[in-house]
Amino acid sequence: MSGTSPGPEHRILVVGAGYVGLTTAACFAHLGHDVICADIDRAKVASLSAGVVPIREADLDRLVAEGIAERRLRFVISAESVAATCDFVFVCMPTPLRADGETELSYLLAALDSVAPRLRPGSVVVTKSTVPVGTAPKIAAALGRTDVALASNPEFLREGSAVADFLSPDRIVIGAEDLSVARRVAALYAGVEAPVILSDPTSAETVKYAANAFLAAKVSFVNALAAVCEAVGADVDTVLAGVGTDHRIGSAYLQPGPGWGGSCLPKDTRALVSVANDAGYVFDLLEGVITVNEQQLDRVVAKVARMVGGEPGTVTDPDAGDGASGSVDLDGVAVAVMGLTFKAGTDDLRGSPALRVAERLGASGARLVAYDPALVNLDDRPDIVSQLPAALDVRGSAFEALHGADVAVVLTEWPEFAALDWERAASEMAAARVVDARNLLDADQLRAAGFAYEGLGRR
């Protein structure tokens, strides 16, 4: 479906052509607005201008091509050169977490500094980046413009479904000190069916952190519950089926796994803990959520050790320095790592629990061979290769990775792994063993194929 404007067309500048910025630009163009997306990466701008999307995301390439063809979307290098022509400026810059637990705002503030002198009087600057609670005054100070309005419009985009999440969201949250400004931003979403929540900027910033922190807590609870099920002899699949039917709880995010990760949840949970501490509140509950997530990574590695007859011991965290008191001994064990991306449907490795488990396996002496459906032809992906441990041997197919392996560990929930011919896999492997850290596989089918199988919390 081509983009048609439901109302007056506005010119929107999106600063940053990363994951959030590119999705925002393409979707606003689809809604009928005139959108300019700016980025300092010349190669990326040239590629996007030719309709080549550098990230794996459903429907995004189609919307970018549509926007370019209908002349509603274009890409430029200099945001300053076009800022004066735009009614709205959406700032979509990265805000990574620093080593000290604070959020890095320098990229966002630099972007604001570059466009501030050029902004059209009466225009609206909208923060789309995830920022710490209380950042709005810093943004106002960085702009230094009393004739420009400010708003916060946090994103709630899930990788793999970002376009659908933008065009069919659960809610649209907009915070501004002047609600008339919030309404102007809300009008840009005309044609999108979703509740619109208007608030002050601080509340809007808190909504984003609170949502991700709650999701992290839900996943950590399920992983801890899986450990309880193993201890008492219950079956986690049955338990969660019973729990998820309660409408107060729901079934979403009730699935054990190797831990939560990605580019948002780890950063946002830690940032909320930091914000709370700075404000004088010790967020013990969320600290526990983070601790359980670290334990889950260790539990998966320990399961691999038990599967090959080793002693679980204390898992070595490659980022922990010399503080570890012991380690799992997997010296020379060939491990087939099935999946490296943080979730299926994306090629993103940022904060991937699968990659963190792989790193711990490698630090424990394992010889790692991996396969991920999104990470093939890596000769053309230096951005991906730079994020992988040097000792990790990535193969082009599942069976190449499984060949000669002493044990396989499923770490990403790719449907391809559930549909794999595991009888053939058993014949390829040195020993038919699998640790299913996603509870993705049919345990009975695997055991019938001769596998020693272990999932999370399954009887």
Instruction: Indicate the DSSP class of residue 380.
Output: G
Look up residue 156 and give its two tokens.
């709630």
3-state secondary structure of 394: strand
Residue 86 annotated to the active site: no
CA dist 445 → 69, 70, 165, 395, 420 (Å) = 49, 51, 35, 25, 11
Look up residue 215 and give its two tokens.
């999701």
CB 315 within 8 A of CB 330: no
- How far is the C-alpha of 296 from the C-alpha of 302, rounded, in Å? 10
- How far is the C-alpha of 211 from the C-alpha of 209, rounded, in Å? 6
Look up residue 6 and give its two tokens.
């439901």
Instruction: Indicate the DSSP class of residue 118.
Output: G
Closest by Cα among 90, 452, 117 to 307: 452
Looking at the chain, how many residues does it have?
459
CB 254 within 8 A of CB 242: no
- How far is the C-alpha of 109 from the C-alpha of 427, rounded, in Å? 56
3-state secondary structure of 249: coil
- How far is the C-alpha of 75 from the C-alpha of 52, rounded, in Å? 12
What residue has token string 């048609």?
4
Closest by Cα among 411, 326, 401, 414 to 368: 401
Q: Beta partners for 36?
A: 13, 74
- How far is the C-alpha of 64 from the C-alpha of 376, rounded, in Å? 24
How many of the other CB atoms lie within 10 Å of CB of 215? 18
- How far is the C-alpha of 258 from the C-alpha of 437, rounded, in Å? 6
**What kind and span of H or E run contains 200?**
none
Closest by Cα among 122, 125, 154, 156 to 139: 125
Candidates 37, 86, 229, 264; catalytic one: 264
C-alpha 386, offset from chain centre? 18
CB 303 within 8 A of CB 453: no
Q: Would you please indicate which residues are annotated as catalytic (active-site) residues?
A: 264
